[in-house]
Amino acid sequence: MTTIPAPKPAATPGRLKSFFTSRPVVKLRRNKLAVVGLIMTFIFLMVALFAPFIAAPSQAAGGNCLRDLGISQTKQIYNPAGGAFWKILFAAPDSCYHTERESFSPIPTPPSKEAYFGTSQGYDIFYGMIWGTRVMMKMGLVIVAITLITGIIVGSISGYYGGWIDNVVQRFIDVMLSLPSLVLTIVLITVLGASISSIILAFCLTGWTQYARIVRGDILRTRNLEFVDAARSLGARDFRLIFKHVLPNSLASVLTIAILDLGTIPLSIAALSFLGIGLPIGYTDWGQFMSFARAWMDNQYWYVTVLPAVFIILFSLGWNLFGDAVRDAFDPRTR
């Protein structure tokens, strides 16, 4: 008598495979604009990461990442030569300017072998765009990470516990939202002083409220669902209920907004520098090069305006295309 072997149980797909085959990810992969946006953001990330190799700071121009071509006496500021690979890769000098520039020509010079994108106020535009990508990316990631974590924590506590805690938190958020965020940011930067740390602090103090409001609304809809009541009846504590059951099912909306903010916050920082209230002159900042170009908006000097504008537009476009596609794919209201 022959025995028929029992059928093998079907292999369960791994978590990573399940994620890539899930409906939102498949929808995202089929969106051509999302793929274009993802490629654009990936290119900017690679430019920011490998800036020390793409635009190596010139020792002939003071060793700084702005490649100041207009100085007559140089000072060693940044020298990656001879350093370990990881030190070169993650080195990111915040300040690349000379306190006294003894001689420089304010007239822009056209693109050449010495300066691929030309110069503006004596600074190499190519070096400013490459190192500016790293500074803008770093500031955007830090600001979004801090505001997102703060908003998630505050919104989770407010939405889950409700009552007087929710009332106090929401009234404070109402006061913060009643003030124009740009005006409040400008006031904070003026009080704290123009520096990278003060700009990050100002944007974090004014940006966490929108995340907290969105998380709180999603948690109010999630906390009374059946699976949360089941976990509570099994003795799960509040911390586990919030961060294990409620919060993971309430993050789709806030994460898509965070992706969009990665493209808009650097533009806001560049706008402040363009207005003269951002980073001091000499920092690798896209807004400064646009500010330099205001006096040379002429067809003869097209490169001082067009080339920085192309970097700014493509950076914002990439994050917005990808962010919109993520919102459409993961937002349950669009299904």
Q: Give residue 2's region: left, alpha or beta (phi > 0; psi -120 to 50).
A: beta
Kindly state whether residue 11 falls inside one of the protein's structural domains: no
Q: How far, in Å, CA of 205 to CA of 184, rounded?
A: 9
With a cut of 70, say whether residue 195 has pLDDT above it. Answer: yes
How far, in Å, CA of 255 to CA of 78, rounded? 36
What predicted TM-score, i.e. pTM, was given to this entire model? Answer: 0.78
Distance, in Å, from the CA atom of 73 to the CA atom of 291, rounded to the nearest integer, reads 25
CA–CA separation, 246 and 4 (whole Å)? 47
Number of domains in the chain: 1
Answer whether residue 103 is part of any domain: no
Name the percent of the chain in helix, strand, coil, to the closest 5.
65, 5, 30
Q: How far apart are CA 232 and CA 18, in angstroms?
A: 28
Residue 70 lies in a domain: no
CA distances from 213 to 172, 204, 228, 260 (A): 11, 15, 21, 17
Beta strands in 114-207 (DSSP E): 119-120, 123-124
Q: What is the mean pLDDT of residues 38-43?
A: 92
Distance CA 2, CA 203 (A): 74
- Using a pLDDT cut of 70, give the percent of the chain over it: 75
Continuous segment of H or E residues that includes residue 265: helix 252-274
Mean pLDDT, range 108-113, rounded to an integer = 81
Q: How far apart are CA 176 and CA 207, in angstroms?
A: 10
The domain that contains 280 carries what CATH number?
1.10.3720.10
261 or 231: whose pLDDT is higher?
261
149: domain range? 36-50+133-334
Name the packing angle between helices 32-49 and 303-330 (round to 10°): 130
pLDDT at 2: 56
Distance, C-alpha 240 to centroid of its chain: 30
Tell me the two tokens of residue 36. Answer: 């274009």
pLDDT at res. 39:
92
Tell me what the pLDDT averaged over the chain comes to.
75
Encode 49-59: b = buried (16+ Cβ within 10 Å), e = exposed. Answer: bebbebbbbbe
Q: Where are the alpha helices (DSSP H) in 179-251?
A: 181-192, 196-222, 226-233, 238-240
Least confident of 6-20, 188-202, 227-241, 309-323: 6-20
> pLDDT for 55-110, tens place per residue?
776 544 444 445 544 443 333 333 333 344 444 444 444 444 433 444 556 778 88
